[in-house]
Amino acid sequence: MTTRRRKRHTPEQIVRKLRDADAMLNAGQDQVAVLQALEVSEATYLRWRNQYGGMKSEEARRLKQLEDENRKLKEIVADQALDIRMLKHLQQGNW
């Protein structure tokens, strides 16, 4: 039994693969052959199509940066909320 190593694709690579897939599908290849050529599963292809469909490489890169920044900001807000809760608890003298 062989297992494939999991790959992480950059947004630029995803957009390039989606463009290649469109070209192959327009050339008359069936979807199974296209997915094998791209080395991705159908679920991955559909998820990429929903998320990155119609984007340019620069737009995909910017989207990824904004998602990372949003994740970091959410972590900061969560830490601050925890600090506030802890300070309120200490202020009440329940320690």
Task: Determine, yes or no, domain membership for 2.
Answer: no
Task: List, for residues 78-92, the tens digit of each pLDDT value.
Answer: 999 999 999 998 888
Task: Determine, yes or no, domain membership for 4.
Answer: no
* Residue-range definition of the domain harbouring residue 81: 11-91
The overall pTM is greater than 0.75: no
Task: Determine, yes or no, domain membership for 19.
Answer: yes
Task: Determine, yes or no, domain membership for 3.
Answer: no
Task: Determine, yes or no, domain membership for 70.
Answer: yes
45 touches 38 (CB < 8 A): yes
Q: What sign does the CA torsion over 36, 42, 44, 47 have?
A: positive
Task: Determine, yes or no, domain membership for 6.
Answer: no
Compute φ and ψ for 39, nearest 5 degrees: 60, 45
Task: Determine, yes or no, domain membership for 57.
Answer: yes
Task: List, for residues 20-64, the tens digit of each pLDDT value.
Answer: 999 999 999 999 999 999 999 999 999 999 888 777 878 888 888
* Beta carbons within 8 Å of 14's beta carbon, 6+ residues apart: 48, 52, 60
Number of domains the chain is built from: 1
